Every structure is written in structure tokens, then in C-alpha cells.
Structure 1
Amino acid sequence: MRHGPAVRRRKLGEELRKLRDRAGLTSPEAARLVGWHQSKVSRIETGRSGVKTEDVARLLEVYDLQDPQLRLLLEALAQTSGESGTQWWHAYRGLLPSQYRDFISLESQASRARTLETSVMPGLLQTPDYAREVTRAMLPGLSAGKIDTLVEVRLARQEVLRSRDPLALSAVLDEAVLRRRVGGGPVMKEQLRHVRAAMELPHVRLQVLPFAAGAHTGLAGAFVIFSFPAISDLDVVVIDHLASSLSLERKEDLAEYSAAFRRIQEQALSPQESLHLIDDIESGA
């Protein structure tokens, strides 16, 4: 188990090593061509240190990488494998824990997210009022100003669903998520309407796991599986706890959680059936 930046560094290093091998270069030869000591190339390839975007660009020129999509992804990985970079969430680094910033960096790079939520609405689908109530409940004692800032961050994250190349989101919600009256009736009505609108997006698939399903794999807790373009083995599972999160990257873990998500989807209502249940719950909210 590793946290976000370590996962990114190791994956970036693996891909750079593959490209070097494909270019027919040894580590010392690559270092000489870019004017570095061989130990720097070694540290980058083993994930022991972060790397600047411009350094990755220099290596990719030496390795003659022609795939523009892969180039962009590797340069983005360089930005998020450490604490440097100019992504929007760095403006909030004084308030956001590093693990939350890591999560946002994964989410912003991903092409697909599969998520199971058992307690609250996925952050990407929350309304401002719902997000405010959840934040206030989870972080008691936080000032109103800081709560507002965290809600601002939550809403900024949702841009991944509205971008030109949006994140494909597959979400399964336990029925409890819909029935828990966060903020009271008016807040929940607005939230449920917001979810219904999101379900009309072609890149959003939402299913409800009804109480009638009984015991299911998801009882172990919520999780998210992020998948990335160009490099299939970058997939990572993120499991959130109250004060921390864990990133799982082993192929065995990914296979286990992917299979679990498929089973949960099979137990859940279809999107259309889920929509009917949401309508029923909204009418009584």
C-alpha cells in the first residue's frame, strides 16, 4: 500500500525505464545524453525521487517518444508525483491535507472512475448545500470560512465531469445514501434532483444498491478505482478512512476490487430502476 505520490513516482519511473529500453539505451547512456549523472536516472526510474516536468520532457526527446497522448500523461504524472506543480488545488495546500491533494490529482488525471459509496453522495455529484452539511458534520469545530473553502474545492473538482474530455463515472450508491436526510428535506430534495440531472450525462452511469439486496461485497466499505488513458497498469484503488486514505496498486488488489465492483453492479438496480427509486425517495423527502 502506498499513498498517491509514491504510486505516481513508481509508475512514472516504470514507464520511463520501458521507453529507455525501447530506445536501446542503457541508464548511463541516457544520463550522458541529457547531461546528468547516472544516479539521477536510476532514482527517477525506481521512484525514489520526484522529477520535474521539464526533465521528463528531456528524457522523452532522447527516447524519441512520438505518441502525444502518452507524452502528455507522463508529463502530468511528473507534476503530480511530488508536491511541485501548478494545478489549481495547490492554491489550497494550506488547508487541504496532502492525502486529499493526492486524491484530487488522481481524479484529475483519470479517464474513468468506478466508485462504491455507502454513506454519502460521491463528491463529484454533491450540491453546495449538501457538501457544506457533510463537511460540517465530518469536521466539527471548523470555522465557517474554512468550510466554505472546502465546499469550493469540492465544486471545483466537479469540473472533471464538464470538461471537453470528461471523466467517465460509474457509481453504485447504497440506498442509505439516498435516504439519509443530510441537511433536512429541502437540501435532500435538491440533491436528489441534482443526481437525476447528472444521470442524463452520457458519461455518468449511476446505480442504486437497494436494501433488498441484503448482504453484499460493499459492506466492507466505500472505495474508488481510478483508470488512466494510454497506460492501463496505472489503475489504482483508493480507500478512504476518516483521517487518511490508502492507495492500492498491486495487480492482485486491482483485480480483486474490479471483480467486487462488477458483482456489486450486478446486485444493484439498473440505471432506469435506480431513477425510479430516486423519484420515489424524492417525493417523500
Structure 2
Amino acid sequence: MSTRGAAMPPARSVPSVSLRRLAGHLGGLRTQAGLSQEDVTERTGINRATLYRIEAGRSRPQKRTLNALLDLYGLDGPCRDEIVELATNTNQQDWLRPYHADLSDQYTAYISFESEACAVQNFEPMFIPGLLQTEDYARAVIRDIWSAASAADVEQHVRARMERQKRLAGADPLRLSAVMSEAALRHQVGGPSVMAEQLRNLLAAAAAPHIDVRVIPFAAGAHPGMLGAFSVMTFPEHSGIAYLDGLAGDLFLEAESDRVRYTSVFGSLLATALDHDESLALIESSLHILIPEEFSA
């Protein structure tokens, strides 16, 4: 998303994907064993509140707690080794760089999720999606929206955004489906030259097979995306989550019903948007308006 990373109200911390996976495994093992949380507490002495936090993905179990649970559930062999390894890795944040230290908890949580996702669906009504922004465009967006930011703050967030874009490269790149309103093409963020560079970058990115760029033209009229920007992230071993970004704060929607609802909304926006070739033509026409001399005969 484009404004993500600016100053937002504090919010509760969000569990990493790996911690959520661990919670799902442990809750599933307890259910398979036919035990309630009360049963587990009685047999192991583990505080029920602690068990609840573990199964909700809010707390990483200590080694002795994890072993007590796995012993009770009768898990052994390679399956047990896999769970222990997952528990060990829940606190590892290889995606976090030294210059991320002062980013908000919600933004670093988003980076964590994005780093583990296999696909992202992103709708932006006003900006070029963050994963497709040029450095100068990102700098202009962050500087002009986050008026209280120092020059160092702006550069820190620009570097974080550029780092995120590495997920679009490599042998197993993130699959990105990006839909934006025509307004994102028309606002001259950073001035004509910055915007022209951004539109060229957008056209180049859209040529990649794992990146789908679509535009909803002004002529399409009202549509569900006018309510605001959002993303839906899908993970290899997890169904996914929806994410909303706005002035009131960042919101992660973890319920399956929310993911399904926003996936459906995104599908509606795709149907409303121009097709691939038409979208690229609209981007080119926006570039033509900015620098007509490049297109003159």
C-alpha cells in the first residue's frame, strides 16, 4: 500500500505467520487428541490463560511447555521435529533490516506477512501500489503525506519500501495482482518528471508474468474500491489475511470470512477494471499527457 509506514495510532501487536501456523498445529493436535483446554491444564499444569494465548498465536511456548504439550498429544518422530523447529523459528525475523528498527509495529508486521506470502492482491484508489513505486515517487508520497516526518524518517521508510520490492524478483517471486483507480495515474506525485518515471516503471513491471496491473477508469463510475485501499495476502500453508490501511490506523482481518469477503471484493474490482492491454494503454496515454514531446512524430 502507498501510505503504509506513516505515523499511525499505536495498535496491538500482530503475530507472525509462522507463529500463527504453530498455533494452528497445536490447536489441531489438541482437538485430534479429544482434549479440551481444561483437560490440558489438568494433565500438564499449564495455565489455561497461557494455553489460550499459545493457541491464539499471541505467545510462543517455552521449550518445556511445548514438550509437555507434544508429550500429552503423543506426537513423536519427524512430525514432532517439525513442530519444534517451527517454534524455534517463530522469533526469527530475517526480513527485518537494521534500518527498520524505528518503523511502527504494524508496518513491520505487514513486512513480515508480505515476506512470507506467495501472492498479494492489492487495490489502491489514489496511489501507485507500494510494491511498484519508484524510489522518487515513494519519497514524494511519504514526505507529502507524513508532514511531521524528518528527512531521516522519510529515507528510512523509502529504503524499507525498496527492500520490500525484492520479493518481486528471484526464482520464486511474489505473485502480485494490483488494481488501481485512474486517479493514481493522474495525480502528479512529485511533479511531472517523477510521475513520468513512475508510469514508465509501471509499464515495465506489468510485462512480468507474475505481475498483473489493472486500472479502473473514471468512466466506470462508482465501485466498492471507493471505500478505501486494501490488500489480501495468501500464504503457502495458511489461507490468508486481509489488510486495511487508513488514517484511523492499520487493521489486519484474520477471520476466514473477512478474507473471503475481501477476495470477493477484489474479484469485483478486477471485473470492473480494464483488461491488461487496455490498462497499459491508459497508462501510456497518461504518460503521453505528461511528456507529449516523447510521443510526437
More displaced 10-residue stretch of structure 1: 142-151 or 22-31: 22-31
Q: Which of residues 51, 56, 74 in structure 1 aligns to 2:60?
A: 51
Query: Structure 2: 5+ residue runs without aligned partners?
Result: 1-10, 291-297
| CA deviation after TM superposition for structure 1 residue 53, in Å | 9.6
Q: Counterpart in 2 of 1:39?
A: 47
Deviation at 1:284, TM superposition (A): 1.4
Q: Is the 8 A contact 1:23 1:63 kept in 2?
A: no
Check if 1:267 corresponds to 2:272: yes
* Residue in structure 2 matching 1:256, options 261, 264, 274: 261
- What TM-score do you get using the length of structure 1 for normalisation? 0.81
Aligned positions of 1:103-142 closer than 5 A: 103-142=110-149
1:183 has 2:187 as partner: no
CA RMSD of superposed structures (Å): 3.5
Q: Which amino acid aligns with 1:16?
A: L
State the Cα distance separating 1:51 from its structure 2 match. 1.1
Counterpart AA for 1:148 = E
Query: How far 1:141 sits from its partner (Å)?
Result: 3.4
2:236 is paired with a residue whose SS is: coil
Match of 2:25 in 1: 15
Q: Specify the code of the residue in structure 2 equivalent to 1:264.
A: L
Matched, 1:63 2:75: yes
Contact 2:16-2:109 within 8 A present in 1 as well: no
Change (3 A) 1:71 1:209: farther
Superposition deviation, residue 78 in structure 1: 2.3
Change in Cα spacing, 1:88 to 1:260, as seen in structure 2 (3 Å) is: closer
Please identify the structure whose Cα radius of gyration is greater: 2
Sort the Cα spacing of 1:100 and 1:143 in 2 relative to 1 into closer, same or farther, 3 A: same
1:246: Cα distance to partner?
A: 0.5
Structure 1: gaps spanning 5 or more residues: 80-84
Q: Write the distance in 2 (CA, Å) between the matches of 1:164 and 1:55.
A: 38
TM normalised by structure 2 equals: 0.78
Alpha carbons of 1:77 and 1:215: their partners in 2 closer, same or farther (altered >3 Å)? farther
